[in-house]
Chain A
Amino acid sequence: MNKPKQLSAFITTLNRDCPGVLVEVDAPRDPEGEWWLDVANGGSHETVSWRPKVGFGFFTTDEKGFGDRPDEIYRKVEGACARLCRLMEQRRTNTTRSMGLKDVRRMAGRPQAQLASVLKTNQAAVSRLENRTDMYLSSLGEYIRAMGGQLELHAKFKDFEIRIDPLLIARK
């Protein structure tokens, strides 16, 4: 079966950006189904899921499971390759694989100065915000919005799940 164009582009870009990686493609029976890529680099290994209407999915936790969905999704080849190279580097150097605010900003391709301008503040304030261990949800929401994203907050209980509006959290 021929590989879909986006998958071929991903492999080409990955070989360019992370030289030395070996990629094995596990094709589904139905080309519209879930494709898997096994990416090896030295001693490390990453699994990538790809669905035509969803994009590239990465698994950043190492806890053993079965039938998990990806915890990060990337719709475009360049972003997916950049994140995968970073994940492999993080595994090699044994550093945390989850993303902090600074990582998210870099993925969104927004320099601190640009973000500061959108937030009507200065670069130092953005830097301080990124290094905080705690902050108001409203500040986090503004930060994400300034990058073109949307902050979502969900609460899950045994019998129900709800979406909480971060802006209405203090409503009486």
Chain B
Amino acid sequence: MALTRSERLAIFLERLSAAPAAGSAEEALILLAAMLNGVEDEFTTVLFDLSGVQSDGRMYPPLPDSAREVPGRSDVTRYRS
């Protein structure tokens, strides 16, 4: 069943909210990626492909190169994607 991106985003957020809390930043990132990739695998026909640079219609979890510093918080890493 193909859903719109907005609909898939809503499902992803719903599943993420319902998931057990992560114990660390690393676990949180893994959880987020697993949830998002699961939703995209289930509701799109687009295969996971990190090699492209242009939109293929699929949502992707944050990549390591999107990590950012948080001023004054050396213990926190922010991702933007």
Q: Assess whether A63 is in contact with B5, with CB atoms less than 8 Å apart.
A: yes
Looking at the assembled complex, report how far the CB atom of B17 sits from the nearest CB atom of chain A, in whole angstroms: 14
Given A54-B53, A63-B6, is A27 in contact with B68 using a C-beta cutoff of 8 Å?
A: yes
Instruction: Tell me the B residues contacting A by CB distance below 8 Å.
Output: 4-6, 8-9, 12, 36, 45-47, 52-56, 59-69, 77, 80-81
For chain A residues 42-72, which have a beta carbon within 8 Å of chain B?
Answer: 51, 54, 57, 63-72
Additional A-B contacts beyond A29-B68, A67-B60 (14; CB < 8 A): A26-B68, A30-B65, A30-B67, A32-B65, A34-B63, A34-B65, A34-B80, A64-B6, A65-B5, A67-B81, A68-B59, A68-B60, A73-B54, A156-B45
Identify the closest chain A residue to B8 (Cβ). Answer: A65
Known A36-B80, A161-B47; judge A67-B68 contact (CB<8 A).
no
Contact residues of A with B, CB < 8 Å? 26-30, 32-34, 36, 51, 54, 57, 63-73, 156-158, 161
Complex CA distance for A63 and B66, rounded to whole angstroms:
22
Cα–Cα, bound, A72→B54 (Å): 7
Chain A min CB distance to B5 (Å): 4
Chief secondary structure at chain B's binding surface: loop
| B66-A65 in contact (CB<8A) | no
B4–A63 CB distance below 8 A: yes
CB contact between B66 and one of A28, A57, A68 (< 8 Å): that residue: A28
How long is the Cα–Cα vector from A19 to B47 in the complex, in angstroms?
A: 42
Q: Which residues of A contact B53 (CB under 8 A)?
A: 51, 54, 57, 69-70, 73
Question: Does A65 contact B59, Cβ atoms closer than 8 Å?
Answer: yes
Beta-carbon contact of A28 and B65 below 8 Å: yes
Q: Which 5 residue pairs spanning A and B have beta carbons closest together?
A: A33-B65, A71-B55, A67-B60, A65-B5, A67-B59
- Closest chain B residue to A161, Cβ basis: B47
**Contact call B54/A34, Cβ cutoff below 8 A:** no
Q: Which B residues are in CB contact (< 8 Å) with A65? A: 5-6, 8-9, 59
Q: Tell whether A28 pairs with B9 under 8 Å between CB atoms, given A69-B52, A156-B45, A156-B46.
A: no
